[in-house]
């Protein structure tokens, strides 16, 4: 057991602190066990309900008959729940009485004053469960005995509450920021749908192969509005081709997580670009991932924020001067789900885009001045989202750092004068 902790703290087994209750699932064969109309308050928690800190409702409910004819157990509010099968370590705190399935453990205090439930929630987040798991037919799992042996580093109760208050304040800020991002995404999506079909100030419309658009607009394939380029990978064996920081940005799918790309994990030297005949793409080029497992879920699209090169798993569209490259970028970004549906090949070992189909993909083209107006509007929303996401990342980093020092006692909290983080 770890002995390197502050005076007054102690390391205890989870089973010494709590009685562990494990639930069950009423038979799916008897529909009378399931409250599909939500007529009761018999909330039934499954792993999918452990997505946020507090559990206030559930996707499914069960009837009184289902309770009587199954192994479910009533769990009171303010109880920490944890998944211990399949998806191990998902956590939540009940804010209403609930029942749970057999993959979820509930930790009820053996006696009052042993632990603060908010503190236990954070303390359980720090554990490395994979040191304790068994591998079953359907995946990794913990058993009840191993749950009782999980080590918890426990400060005095008042210090537990002070630590939990600090971490909760950061979680509150994270939740608010996530809500802002979600709402901004919804507004952006609705606005872009309006702009791409109705434009700005139009009253007359026409039907086209991609739907109704304003009169005066055209429909163009991507191949008609610019020039496509591919990339490649110089030999990794030749060290003079590669550098880790100062060099030519070389973009692969793993770098495609920002709206604007200005850096990469690997950089090329001038020697590599010249000898391998790679195209240095101008700033403003549109980058599209065309081969990667990530295409199962989304099509990453980005703008080149500086001159750069790409590997063979991307294609780049250099938009002709008579079109606004940012308009094209925002349009493709908003239509990325449709691109994935129409252009991603099926039945291949690694997901890939059918490039000829991508080049044939059609988008609405307003007059150039309206393109610029639309791209300016969308840029504001993308910037807001980027700022909020950056702020969220900072909060998450702050929380991780605070958990590391507060839950180990490396930094102590004043119990009488608790300083709560105002994020």
Write the CATH number for 176. 1.10.287.1120
> Which CATH number is 18's domain given?
3.90.220.20
89 and 140 housed in the same domain: yes
Last residue in a domain, options 365, 382, 400:
365
Query: How many C-beta neighbours within 10 Å does residue 133 have?
Result: 18
Residue 60 lies in a domain: yes
318 and 272 inside one domain: yes
Q: Would you say residue 383 lies in a domain?
A: yes
Tell me the DSSP string of 261-329: E---SEEE-HHHHHHHT---BPTT-EEEE-BSGGGGT---EEEESSSBEE-TTEEEEEE-TTS-HHHHH
Instruction: Print the domain residue range for 278.
Output: 218-365
pLDDT in the model for residue 415: 80
Both 100 and 187 in a single domain?
no
Three-state SS string over 10-76 comes to: EEEEHHHHEEEEECCCCCCCCHHHECCCCCCCCEEECHHHCCCCEECCCCEEECHHHHHCCCCCCEC
Question: What's residue 418's pLDDT?
Answer: 43
In a domain, 83, yes or no: yes
Residue 207 placed within a domain: no
- Is the same domain home to 223 and 361? yes
The total of structural domains in the chain comes to: 3
Query: Are residues 345 and 375 located together in one domain of the fold?
Result: no
Same domain? For 169 and 290 the reply is no
Q: Among the three residues 98, 119, 154, which one is the final residue of a domain in this structure?
A: 154
The verdict on 263 and 355 lying in the same domain is yes
Are 350 and 393 in a shared domain?
no
Check whether residue 296 and residue 352 sit in a common domain: yes
Give a yes or no: residue 212 inside a domain. no
Final residue of a domain: which of 341, 365, 389?
365
pLDDT of residue 419: 44
pLDDT tens series, the chain, 423 aa: 456 788 889 999 999 999 999 999 999 999 999 999 999 999 999 999 999 999 999 999 999 999 999 999 999 999 999 999 888 999 999 999 999 999 999 999 999 889 999 999 999 998 887 777 765 545 567 788 889 999 999 999 999 999 999 999 999 999 999 999 999 999 999 999 999 999 999 999 999 999 999 999 999 999 999 999 999 999 999 999 999 878 999 999 999 999 999 999 999 999 999 999 999 999 999 999 999 999 999 999 999 999 999 999 999 999 999 999 999 999 999 999 999 999 998 766 789 999 999 999 999 999 999 999 999 999 999 999 999 999 999 999 999 999 999 999 999 998 864 444 433
Q: In this structure, is residue 211 part of a structural domain?
A: no
- Is residue 422 situated within a structural domain? yes
Q: Which of 92, 16, 6 is nearest to 51 (CA)?
A: 92
Q: Is residue 70 part of a domain?
A: yes
Same domain, 127 and 160: no
Same domain, 176 and 198: yes
User: Do 332 and 421 lie in a common domain?
Assistant: no
């Amino acid at each position: 057991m770890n002995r390197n902790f502050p005076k007054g703290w102690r390391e205890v087994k989870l089973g010494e602190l709590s009685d562990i209750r494990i639930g069950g699932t009423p038979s799916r064969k008897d529909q009378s066990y399931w409250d599909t109309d939500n007529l009761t308050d018999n909330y039934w928690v499954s792993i999918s309900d452990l997505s946020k800190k507090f559990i206030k409702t559930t996707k499914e409910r069960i009837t009184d008959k289902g309770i009587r004819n199954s192994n479910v157990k009533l769990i009171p509010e303010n109880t920490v729940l944890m998944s211990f099968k399949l998806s191990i370590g998902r956590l939540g705190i009940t804010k209403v009485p609930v029942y749970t399935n057999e993959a979820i453990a509930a930790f009820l205090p053996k006696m009052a004053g042993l632990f603060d439930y908010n503190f236990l929630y954070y303390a359980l987040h720090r554990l490395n469960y994979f040191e304790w798991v068994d591998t079953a037919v359907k995946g990794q799992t913990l058993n009840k005995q191993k749950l009782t042996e999980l080590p918890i580093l426990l400060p005095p109760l008042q210090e537990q509450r002070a630590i939990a208050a600090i971490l909760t304040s950061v979680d509150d800020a994270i939740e608010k920021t996530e809500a802002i991002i979600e709402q901004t995404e919804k507004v952006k999506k609705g606005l872009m749908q309006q702009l791409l079909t109705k434009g700005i100030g139009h009253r007359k419309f026409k039907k086209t192969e991609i739907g109704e658009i304003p009169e005066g607009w055209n429909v163009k394939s991507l191949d008609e509005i610019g020039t496509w380029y591919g990339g490649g990978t110089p030999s990794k064996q030749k060290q003079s081709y590669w550098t880790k920081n100062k060099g030519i940005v070389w973009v692969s799918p793993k770098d495609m997580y920002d709206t604007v790309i200005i850096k990469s994990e690997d950089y090329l030297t001038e020697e590599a670009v010249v000898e391998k005949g790679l195209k240095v793409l101008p700033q403003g080029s549109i980058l599209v991932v065309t081969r990667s497992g990530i295409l199962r879920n989304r099509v990453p699209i980005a703008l080149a924020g500086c001159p750069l090169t790409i590997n063979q798993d991307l294609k780049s569209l250099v938009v002709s001067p008579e079109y606004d490259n940012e308009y094209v970028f925002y349009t493709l970004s908003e239509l990325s789900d449709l691109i994935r549906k129409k252009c991603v090949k099926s039945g291949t070992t690694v997901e890939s885009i059918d490039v000829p189909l991508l080049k044939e993909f059609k988008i609405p083209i307003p007059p150039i001045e309206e393109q610029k107006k639309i791209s300016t509007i969308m840029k504001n929303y993308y910037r807001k989202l980027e700022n909020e996401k950056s702020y969220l990342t900072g909060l998450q980093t702050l929380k991780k750092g605070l958990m590391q020092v507060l839950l180990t006692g490396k930094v102590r909290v004043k119990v009488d004068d608790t300083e709560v983080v105002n994020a």
